[in-house]
Amino acid sequence: MFVIPVEPLFLFMLVLMRVLFFFAFIPVYGDPFMPVRVRVLLGVGVAMVFTPLLYGREILFPLSFSGFFALLVPEAL
């Protein structure tokens, strides 16, 4: 049996949400002529680059989904 660490996944999701909301409001990438698939793939790529930069920091993740959702809301704002 193996254990999947959830902390890197949570960290990736936080970075991904920040990057996706950033790309949603940039004038060039947020326009309707840019396909959603391109924006999402670009966001995932950028999040994959920036997530390892945060591994050395002390980040406390909540134990419930509602607590994690409370962390995502400021990322969207």
| Residues ≥6 apart with Cβ < 8 Å to 43 | 16, 19, 20, 23
pLDDT tens for the 77 residues of the chain, in order:
788 777 788 888 888 888 888 888 887 777 778 888 888 899 999 999 998 888 777 777 777 778 777 877 777 77
What pLDDT score does 46 carry? 94
Q: How far is CA 65 from CA 10, 37, 52, 73, 75, in A?
A: 11, 26, 23, 12, 16
Sign of CA dihedral 58, 64, 67, 73: positive
